[in-house]
Amino acid sequence: MSISLSGKSLAKLELAHPDLAAIIKRTAALSDVDFTVLEVLRSLGRQRELVARGASQTMKSRHLAGPDGKSRAVDIAPLDGGQVSWAWPQYYRLAPFVKQAAKELGIPVEWGGDWRRFKDGPHWQLPWKDYP
């Protein structure tokens, strides 16, 4: 099965590194879990705000622009009845599709849901070691 990303989600993906955008687009083609792109590129001000609120723990976020002006991170969320779901079981259902897409494309990816501390279900990023 596959889902169709909205025009808003596709527009947001234009701000992502092409490899990361390719993973998310391939995920949509594979997934039976409907999802949306929440956030890609962030300003320093937005990142400061998220750190102050405790929603992020670093000012070295992969959401900040890389040397090419593109983000190395994307936040996606499953949809339940057309609404964003924050329920962890939904993220665990979506994650294997993202990982499969990355594997098929031969692009390394990291999921915030796999982190030991500060689990972040919506967050996917290109690894620092492969994408400095």
Domain ranges of the chain: 7-125
Encoded tokens for 89 = 């079981």
- The reported pLDDT for the residue numbered 1 is 76
The predicted model scores a pTM of 0.95
Asked whether the beta carbons of 55 and 118 are under 8 A apart, the reply is: no
Q: CATH for 7-125?
A: 3.30.1380.10
Contacts of 89 (CB under 8 A, 6+ apart): none
Provide the pLDDT for residue 64.
96
Structure token digits, residue 11: 């527009």
Q: What is the pLDDT along the chain (132 residues), one digit of tens a residue?
A: 789 999 999 999 999 999 999 999 999 999 999 999 999 999 999 999 999 998 899 999 999 999 999 999 999 999 999 999 999 999 999 999 999 999 999 999 999 999 999 999 999 999 999 998
